[in-house]
A and B are shown apart, each in its own frame.
Chain A
């Protein structure tokens, strides 16, 4: 049984048919990426999985359980965390208050402490700045905070929306290194990216989205060799 099963979901914004039957699976322990151009429906897919949007048709199964009808704030209790597009940090809260909010769903103080240690090991900068108001962090630090905050819920599945957005190339590499590290420690990852080169270099498998439909799915290795992908998303001729 796959960890996450998305079955033929159709999501609308008002009358706009944004997702036209997306079907995908994520196995335990994988990094799976969704690549595609702006407006292809990548973020909409993630927001539907995390229950911020409701599909009109189709369903989302997590560990075999149908999650299509639970409220968004229950998702994290099920083991799904999301790093939203544009980071979504609470800019008027301090770094450690942001991390506290990441652990909002938890009551086990001991292992929360361990997770905090782990976040500070992954991102030492956050430890230095923990009493700073989050809005004053640089873009890269804010992305680290967004990922660290999601890790504070100790998720089994992590949904990452465009972690490379607006970051300098050096920082992008650093962020993707942590994505690999988080995965090696046992967290399954569904990664949405416009930076297809980076995404395919860390992912096991990938799906290509075009105007609300999946047009291609394969191993990351095969996708990066695919002619259409190379032309459209990897900037090769």
Chain B
């Protein structure tokens, strides 16, 4: 008994040391950076806007993790590939030809909507098939089994799309209509970033209303709580789970197009890192919660963009801009240690025992 108490105290001590040292590094780094003052206010606004745009994409992808986790208690590690498959297909079959024929610049709105539709539909198709073929037969298996299957499905999809479209990086055409800049608070916003942010807000609000207000949305929430009772109500549980995958994948497909608008290239491996980052965002916000995914995504995006110059520049860390992934995943580890339920996560006791 006494020994156990000592162990707990020892662990607590270590955790406190970690907390204190992180706070010291962050505060010290920030003070050092700010007293050097290498960046102007404009720079900071740029960092934040870029962070919001990047975070918007994370938020859209994170929705897929959170929805699937909500109904199946499973982390769908193939979700990053749903994101990749849509935008790859749309780039190869729609954006490329439209740009080559000049239609993209004559009718940018119609073209972009077409690209978006193809990307979302492809992602949805890939997701629904993956669920049907790889996950549904394992519905009653122990939880580790679908998790491993998801990792397998992720590789399967990566290399399938590599086989389909080749392994080289493909350019996503520049959209002339979105290459301009808009003056904002003494700096300039890229139009593409503005489109990303507005599109994300529309999609997230639409999704939230769908899940909260429509009959299908309520059925998704009912299935998330209790599949047997949901079936007793007449809800087709398998179909509802398919719809849940489709919704998440539609968001990922849209995020893919936004990603391509900002970074202007696509690649068969492009889903890996954004997928992991979005998973981090979903955990950060509280996995299973839709507002959590949105908040977690935005927070991670801004943190990643502002964090390296703010915390690391003053400490004279070399090439700190390349350390944003380190910051993101350090944050994942810290959340898992200190606040596993996330920012607005649910208490685990509420979940079914």
Contact = CB atoms under 8 A, between A and B. Distances in A.
Interface in B212-246: 215, 218-219, 221-222, 225-226, 228-237
Interface in B336-352: 350
B233 A92 contact: no
A49 to B, nearest CB: 11
A101 B235 contact: yes
Contacts of A102: 233
Interface stretch (A81-89, A124-132, A193-201): A81-89
B234 A76 contact: yes
Nearest to B218: A97
Nearest to A72: B231
Contacts of A50: 232
A52 B235 CA distance: 13
Contacts of B237: 73
Nearest to B224: A92
A88 B234 contact: no
Interface in A60-78: 71-77
Interface string A149-168: 10001000000000000000
Contacts of A52: 228, 231-232
A93 interface: yes
B235 A73 contact: yes
A220 B236 CA distance: 37
Contact of B225 (A72, A82, A90): A90
Nearest to B225: A90
Interface string A161-179: 0000000000000000000
A89 to B, nearest CB: 8
Interface centre among B226, B232, B234 (most CB of A within 10 A): B232
Interface residues of B, number: 18
Contacts of B235: 73, 101, 104
A166 to B, nearest CB: 16
A88 B228 CA distance: 9
Contacts of A210: none
Contact of B231 (A73, A135, A149): A73
B229 A90 contact: yes
Contacts of B215: 100, 104
Contact of A90 (B221, B231, B236): B221
B289 to A, nearest CB: 11
Interface in B288-343: none
A101 B231 contact: no
A102 B232 CA distance: 9
A43 to B, nearest CB: 12
B219 A91 contact: no
A90 B232 contact: no
A217 interface: no
A160 to B, nearest CB: 12
B225 A105 contact: no
Given A91-B350, A93-B225, A100-B215, A105 B232 contact: no
A7 to B, nearest CB: 22
Interface centre among B215, B219, B229, B236 (most CB of A within 10 A): B229
A206 B191 CA distance: 74
A135 B349 CA distance: 13
A178 to B, nearest CB: 19
Contact of B233 (A71, A91, A101): A101
A101 B222 contact: yes
Contacts of A149: 233
B226 A73 contact: no
Contacts of B219: 101, 104
A67 to B, nearest CB: 14
A90 B234 contact: no
B228 A93 contact: no
B233 A104 contact: yes
A72 B236 CA distance: 9
A90 B228 contact: no
A71 B236 CA distance: 9
Given A100-B218, A101-B219, A104-B219, A92 B234 contact: no
Contacts of A93: 218, 221-222, 225
A72 B232 contact: yes
A105 B234 contact: yes
B219 to A, nearest CB: 7
Nearest to A81: B232
A192 to B, nearest CB: 15
A61 to B, nearest CB: 19
A135 to B, nearest CB: 8
A81 B350 CA distance: 26
A4 B170 CA distance: 64
Given A76-B233, A93-B221, 4 more contacts: A84-B232, A92-B221, A104-B215, A105-B233
Interface of A: 50, 52, 71-77, 81-82, 84, 88, 90-93, 97, 100-102, 104-105, 135, 149, 153
State the 7 A-B residue pairs at the shortest beta-carbon distance, nearest first.
A105-B234, A88-B229, A76-B234, A72-B231, A73-B231, A104-B233, A104-B234
9 contacts: A73-B237, A81-B232, A88-B232, A90-B229, A92-B221, A100-B218, A101-B233, A104-B234, A153-B234
